[in-house]
Structure 1
Amino acid sequence: MRYFIELAYNGKAYHGWQNQPDAISVQETLEKALNISLQEHTPVVGAGRTDAGVHATNYLAHFDSGKHIEKEKFIFKLNSILPDDIAVYDLFEVNDEAHARFDATSRSYEYHVVQKKDPFEFETAHYVKNELDIEKMNTAAQLLLQYTDFKCFSKSKTDVKTYNCNIVSAYWEKRDNKLVFHITADRFLRNMVRAIVGTLLQIGLGKMPEARLHEIIASRDRQNAGTSVPAKGLFLTRIEYPTSILNK
């Protein structure tokens, strides 16, 4: 039987989601907990990579098991094994062909920026001291929806076959003492969101005009875009799937 597992994690202590030969990952930590809980070797396939230090409030992965799992007891046991910075929220059975990565139809991220020094936010938000023009940043964010090729925001050494992404939503909002950037697309390139945010912050600081974004995207050159913002402010917040994956 195949199961989807929903979890959240604080990425500070991890070198991203994916297993690494010489660094601790969320995937490795979850697999070890599943091995103990199910008493069997249990490889896990995640919805995709997150970089070192990036967080997730909603992450999905799948695993196979020949055992019938009692959800509530299983989640309680798994959470008692996992460290405090990883929490499992839900488990549901899916059809045998369902795939946490390839069946995902959209992914959503948030990036958190604070405008004043905050001792309770410094580990999960990027501090920008100078005033930001949120209207200019939102104008620029809307320009992203006009394009599909985002090579200019991709990490230079990557093995992807295409740089095309369909961004369906991108905007900034004020939330209490924060500025939060929201973005949703069918897929994302490595480092893409952090590079986009870094570029939009340059616009918000008045260091480049909004229209400059057209030139940056057309250039397909990472060196023309802004510096990537720190990973600590980035959260994967939602992954969507078709209902057809459910085992009815």
Structure 2
Amino acid sequence: MRYFLHISYNGTRYNGWQLQPNALGVQQVLNESLQKIYQVGINTIGSGRTDTGVHASEQLVHLDLPFQLKPEETIFRINKILPKDIALNKIYEVGPEAHARFDAIARTYEYRISLQKNPFLADFAYYLSRKPDVDKMNEAAKLLLGFQDFTAFSKVKGDTKHYNCHIYEAFWKRENDLLIFTIKANRFLRGMVRLVVGTLLSVGKGRISVTDFGNIIKSQDRSKASGAAPAEGLFLTKVEYPEGYFEEQKKLFYSQISNMPTGES
């Protein structure tokens, strides 16, 4: 049986979402926690990667099990095992072909900047002692919607087959002492959001102009972009699927469950 899990995590002590041979990722901790309960091999597939130190308030993953779960009981049992910086929030019953990554149509990230030094935000926002020019940064951010090739904001020597993304939204807003950048797209390149933010901050600090920002995108040259903004300010906040997706997937799920054993006691 296939399930989607909605999880959230504080990424501070993890080397990103992905399983890695010599570093601790969120995926490893989740897989091991599920294996402790069900005593079967677990392989979760995420809607996308997050880099080292990056957080997620909404990450969707899927997994297959040889039995049917009781979602509410599973959430309770898994959260007792998971460390305090990872939480399982919801379980969706889906059909056998559902895919957390390939079926997603949009993802939204937020980048948070603190304009006031706050020890309680040290792991969750990038502190700037001087406010950048938010109007200029918003003017530059609007340019993102007019491009598709974002090679300039991609990691060097990545394994990406192409660098095209469709950006739907990109804007800054202020909430009290926080500046929050929201960006929504059908897909993102590895490290892309932090590179975009770092270069927008160069606009906000007067180091480059709005026109320069547009020319950097046009250049398709990674060396022209500014350095990446620090990881602690970045959150994956939403993963979207087609309208009615989970309702339809639940119907497909229940069409295949006859004679399936339960894995719950």
Relative to the length of structure 1, the TM-score reads: 0.98
What CA deviation, in whole Å up to 9, does each residue of 1:146-194 have, x standing for no partner? Answer: 0000000000111111100000000001012100000000000011000
Select the structure of larger CA radius of gyration: 2
User: Separation in 1 of the partners of 2:121 and 2:157?
Assistant: 32
Q: Deviation at 1:40?
A: 1.2
Could you say which residue in structure 1 is the equivalent of 2:215?
215
What CA deviation, in whole Å up to 9, does each residue of 1:85-130 have, x standing for no partner? Answer: 0000000111100001111100000000011211111111111122
Write the letter of the residue equivalent to 1:31: N
Could you say which residue in structure 1 is the equivalent of 2:87?
87
User: Separation in 1 of the partners of 2:19 and 2:131?
Assistant: 39
User: Separation in 1 of the partners of 2:219 and 2:128?
Assistant: 27
What CA deviation, in whole Å up to 9, does each residue of 1:47-106 have, x standing for no partner? Answer: 111100000000000000121111111100000000000000000111100001111100
User: Separation in 2 of the partners of 1:211 and 1:82?
Assistant: 47
User: Separation in 1 of the partners of 2:125 and 2:157?
Assistant: 27
| 1:1-248 equivalences in 2 (<5 Å) | 1-242=1-242, 243-244=244-245, 246-248=249-251
Percent of aligned pairs sharing the same letter: 48
Write the letter of the residue equivalent to 1:247: K
Could you say which residue in structure 1 is the equivalent of 2:259?
none
Relative to the length of structure 2, the TM-score reads: 0.92
Q: Tell me how many residue pairs correspond in the alignment.
A: 248
Unaligned runs of 5+ in 2: 252-265
| Contact 2:140–2:214 (CA under 8 A) maintained in structure 1 | no
Structure 1 runs (4+) greater than 3 angstroms displaced:
none
Q: Deviation at 1:27?
A: 0.3
Write the letter of the residue equivalent to 1:63: L
What CA deviation, in whole Å up to 9, does each residue of 1:186-229 have, x standing for no partner? Answer: 00001100000001111111111111112101111111111101
User: Separation in 1 of the partners of 2:176 and 2:3?
Assistant: 37
Write the letter of the residue equivalent to 2:79: N
